[in-house]
Structure 1
């Protein structure tokens, strides 16, 4: 999946958001009909792509029940869409009369920023102030909610509302490690030693998907292992010129290609999708999976046959991560007032607490209400990452269409069809073209 004109410092997002929630906001009191008159015989069409067993899927399902209970006569027409489906068709659909009233959409310059620049999303600034979203969300969470006239995140008008946090981590099958006689690694050296030992025992250690977002996030994680915050700001915020043959991306491309050669990543991964990756880990077929917190709740629900844990990527101070995806209201929404009410409900303490106890990272929960031990671990790791200014967004964010560029480039590293230098040239081209287009 994808993912800024503010200061470089990223605050301790979850901790600040949880504290802010204690101050109270209008989000606990959704209106019965919004500002659009009678709610009688109306339908709110909602799209999102969260799995039913995920933390977000559970929370949004409960939010739909809450919404219908508080809006007599209104029905929610939920249409489940795939991440890739929305990613590729949103611009066309939102410019038609088939646009939903509210939808989940990927945050960042290349996605929500592009749609805002094209006039396809509603300006939520007035609602954010009126309903207290601007108070409930910490400044760093607001980064992905706001976009300027160029579609660059971090300042300008509100075009979306994030209501969870997310980050990329390492998931470990503890039983597989125990069987192999390997300790769960705490340093990068221990991590690569574990990869090597598994590979020498003819076990492919890393579960990933090169056909979609997972593999490119490993590539970016490796770049971040050699990066400082200034490099992230240059790449993501256009604060200078990114050298694609500098030490960060060069190390990432060479190391990723080397991991494939050593058998740490299967060549078959080039054709694997994210869902297949997750199902393989749930089935105990791999000892390691490097991916996002969005899998956490599903793993809690579905992994029954082995013990598992997670940690931040060993040795890294930064990782792909940010606020979660956004609720956006298409400009052609026929029921904007109801859409705003639904967003309010997803920001209520009841829904946020459910999100936190289901394996998600809430932004406006009551900290004392998060009782699940694994959920506490998830949120504590997020707090650690964000407190060290470690949220580095996602590699596909900077330019429109860059998601597909990243997928293709990493697939070429897996296939060995291009050298690392050739792949970096391919990544540089569209990025620099977009830089020129926005006048930087």
Structure 2
């Protein structure tokens, strides 16, 4: 998911008590930290919360690693997303680094340090160990960077062990009470939402002070797009016209949905967390957001039945492989690191992730028995099989998220027209587009 994902935000909250380890990060960057050079020690850092599907499955992978390497000491340190985001390059540029570290995907993060020569090229190792056979091509995309640090091609510098994607969460009981079926076209979706507004209910939970509004508008554009459109926008493979059918439809439909009451104009004061909570409480029957909510909804929603469906009429969805496990260039124990990465991609670990409610990328689907995990795996597999992961709208250019969010808020609250919205995001994109492309 985008770096503005709920996973990252929740991690900051869940492991906030570990913020004192910032000192350890700073010390490590200066050469005196806890990342050891002992050849019989594997040092691993990540920021996924212990309760998350990723945290649970990676911890299980560490236990498997220990069992297979009885003479090796494993030193694991829980970090926060914010720590790595702020200090990651400084850490990687030191001589005292962990052997494996979780790093955010994207041009401005993993791409930047790959370009700087701070990550180990994993291409040959991935070929030898069969990782390329396990990872769908669309999932590998987030781990590949060219010589300019641009994502999508070039060598493999990071391993995504999980996936994420956006769909429509819905309250099954609320639809059943009205005798409504799951919509398969946008027209049907609008008719279903209209049935709720007729009863004074705002159908769509939306956090327009946060990433969900940027995902919704992008999803609307994707419903009118094809693969070439996605490649042009994300990877600069062709011209991008922000007045084309897809972008125009997305901007105009968003404005229309506000006017029709499908979206509240007050949603500009609601963040992602409160939008999700509104869905959990049954206040809103629909929520367009990502699979990173699955675990929370699984544990917190007890008063109604819920599920997901693909955004109606769209072959594409925002989504991607997850954040990366990378091996720093200066890592001292790379063979041990590779062995651990092997364990994270094992069927045992991947199946465990699915049964914890996560989205594994190399699981045996028949071994995932948890209903939420089955739902997530099925949705992700459907998208990867159809090459339907369209990444996130803020990825192409640096600083684009802030532009997309502020302009989307103006569109929702009515201070900007759809055309003004398109002009603003188009200008920012063209200004930030890499000169090499």
Q: TM-score range by the shorter chain?
A: 0.7 to 0.9
The corresponding residue for 1:28 is none
Q: Does 1:47 align with 2:28?
A: no
The corresponding residue for 1:38 is 39
The answer as to whether partners of 1:186 and 1:314 remain within 8 angstroms in 2 is yes
Q: Does 1:128 align with 2:126?
A: yes
The corresponding residue for 1:2 is 2
The answer as to whether partners of 1:110 and 1:396 remain within 8 angstroms in 2 is no
State how far apart, in whole Å, the 1-side matches of 2:278 and 2:116 are.
39
Shift of 1:240: 1.4
Q: 1:172 to 1:214 in 2, by over 3 A?
A: same
Q: Does 1:438 align with 2:415?
A: no
Shift of 1:413: 1.9
Shift of 1:96: 6.3
Q: Does 1:204 align with 2:202?
A: yes
The corresponding residue for 1:389 is 387
Alignment of 1:29-428 (within 5 A): 38-39=39-40, 42=41, 44-49=43-48, 51-71=49-69, 74-82=73-81, 90-91=88-89, 94-95=92-93, 101-331=99-329, 333=331, 336-428=334-426
Question: The residue matched to 2:302 in structure 1 has which SS?
Answer: coil
The corresponding residue for 1:33 is none
The answer as to whether partners of 1:124 and 1:160 remain within 8 angstroms in 2 is yes
State how far apart, in whole Å, the 2-side matches of 1:411 and 1:118 are.
36
Shift of 1:337: 4.7
Shift of 1:199: 2.4
The answer as to whether partners of 1:55 and 1:296 remain within 8 angstroms in 2 is no
Question: The residue matched to 1:154 in structure 2 has which SS?
Answer: coil
Question: The residue matched to 1:171 in structure 2 has which SS?
Answer: strand
The corresponding residue for 2:18 is none
Shift of 1:239: 1.6
The answer as to whether partners of 1:212 and 1:273 remain within 8 angstroms in 2 is yes
Q: 1:270 to 1:332 in 2, by over 3 A?
A: farther
TM-score by length of 2: 0.82
The corresponding residue for 2:7 is none
Q: 1:53 to 1:192 in 2, by over 3 A?
A: farther
Shift of 1:182: 3.3
Q: Deviations over 1:332-351 (max 9, x none)?
A: 55655554333222111111
Q: Deviations over 1:204-239 (max 9, x none)?
A: 211222333222111111001111222112111212
Q: 1:62 to 1:304 in 2, by over 3 A?
A: farther
State how far apart, in whole Å, the 1-side matches of 2:97 and 2:251 are.
39
Shift of 1:326: 1.7
State how far apart, in whole Å, the 2-side matches of 1:116 and 1:416 are.
41
Shift of 1:2: 2.3
Shift of 1:169: 0.7
Shift of 1:308: 0.6
In structure 1, the gaps of 5 or more residues are 4-35
Q: Which moved more, 1:124-133 or 1:215-224?
A: 124-133
State how far apart, in whole Å, the 1-side matches of 2:323 and 2:296 are.
17
Shift of 1:253: 1.2
Shift of 1:313: 0.7
Q: CA RMSD in A?
A: 2.9
The corresponding residue for 1:21 is none
State how far apart, in whole Å, the 2-side matches of 1:405 and 1:86 are.
24
State how far apart, in whole Å, the 1-side matches of 2:416 and 2:118 are.
37
State how far apart, in whole Å, the 1-side matches of 2:296 and 2:252 are.
33
State how far apart, in whole Å, the 2-side matches of 1:340 and 1:351 are.
15
Q: 1:172 to 1:65 in 2, by over 3 A?
A: same
Shift of 1:380: 2.6
Give the number of the structure with larger relative contact order, counting CA–CA contacts within 8 Å between residues 6 or more apart: 1
State how far apart, in whole Å, the 2-side matches of 1:316 and 1:365 are.
26
Question: The residue matched to 2:168 in structure 1 has which SS?
Answer: strand
Question: The residue matched to 2:239 in structure 1 has which SS?
Answer: coil
State how far apart, in whole Å, the 1-side matches of 2:50 and 2:305 are.
22
Q: 1:76 to 1:69 in 2, by over 3 A?
A: farther
Q: Which moved more, 1:53-62 or 1:326-335?
A: 326-335
TM-score by length of 1: 0.82
Question: The residue matched to 1:426 in structure 2 has which SS?
Answer: helix
State how far apart, in whole Å, the 1-side matches of 2:323 and 2:350 are.
15
Q: 1:349 to 1:425 in 2, by over 3 A?
A: same
Q: Which moved more, 1:399-408 or 1:51-60?
A: 51-60
Question: The residue matched to 1:362 in structure 2 has which SS?
Answer: coil
Shift of 1:79: 2.2
The corresponding residue for 2:31 is none
